Amino acid sequence: MDGELFPRIRTEVAPGAVHVPDWLDAAGQRRLLDACREWARPPAGLRTVRTPGGGTMTARQVCLGRHWYPYGYARTAVDGDGSPVKPFPAWLGELGRRAVADALGAAQAGPEPYDIALINFYDGDARMGMHRDGDEASPAPVVSLSLGDTCVFRFGNTETRARPYTDVELRSGDLFVFGGPSRLAYHGVPRVRAGTAPPALRLAGRLNITLRVSGFPADG
């Protein structure tokens, strides 16, 4: 970005966890945002996720490929309108492979194709508590793409929700990949900075798209 006091550079936040600023250019962000707007429509569209303790997640969510619910995956929106989950498009899988290759090196982009996307929409005071992405059977890296408002992304350790952790500012177009020894690290979003999205994107709020490899059998 022009006028930056310090250049934003690729940073390995923890072993196997890499932040790549400005990975998606304006056209790439626009394409992904347009797709998210389609995916958010019903059936099996954007929903509020209810947690087993009776609470609700403040970020609303839509899934592709498999439907995530606390705490597992289904083929239908079991905690939504019950419709079949939308398909995971091949171009998104290709984006995931390229992201892993750019962030961690081509050898880390394993043989299994990316087949799940969780898309979280943050508006108002939405945030996400510290958690691990542990419902997939594959150890393949998680790919995270951000659009819209800047957030503070907290990336922690594999043992506890508490320190040590590192706070990283994720802006529109940034990529964050976590695999290897960091694949099951706790992470969360304590803060979104409202009104910081690039004006040309015309998005009020923040979208985060995580791509995952399920590791589930095709008929499972």
CB of 19 to ligand AKG, least distance (A): 11
Q: Which residue is nearest to ligand AKG (CB)?
A: 208
Interaction with ligand AKG in 39-58: which residues (CB under 6 A)? none
CB of 100 to ligand AKG, least distance (A): 17
Interaction with ligand AKG in 116-135: which residues (CB under 6 A)? 118, 120, 128, 133
In contact, 130 and 188? CB cutoff 8 Å:
yes
Tally Cβ neighbours within 10 Å of residue 147: 27
CB of 149 to ligand AKG, least distance (A): 11
Rounded to whole angstroms, the Cα distance separating 66 from 186 reads 22
- 188 forms bridges with which residues in the sheet? 154
CB of 73 to ligand AKG, least distance (A): 13
Binding track, positions 178-197, relative to ligand AKG; x by CB under 6 A: ---------x-x--------
Q: Is the peptide bond before 71 cis (omega within 30 degrees of 0)?
A: yes
| Residue with token string 């957030």 | 151
Interaction with ligand AKG in 68-97: which residues (CB under 6 A)? none
Smallest CA-to-CA distance from 140 within 191, 188, 90, 101 is with: 101
Binding track, positions 139-158, relative to ligand AKG; x by CB under 6 A: -----x--------x-----
CB of 189 to ligand AKG, least distance (A): 5
In contact, 160 and 132? CB cutoff 8 Å:
no
Which residues contact residue 132 at a Cβ distance below 8 angstroms, ignoring those fewer than 6 apart? 158, 184, 185, 186, 187
Q: Which residues bind ligand AKG (CB under 6 A)?
A: 118, 120, 128, 133, 144, 153, 187, 189, 208, 210
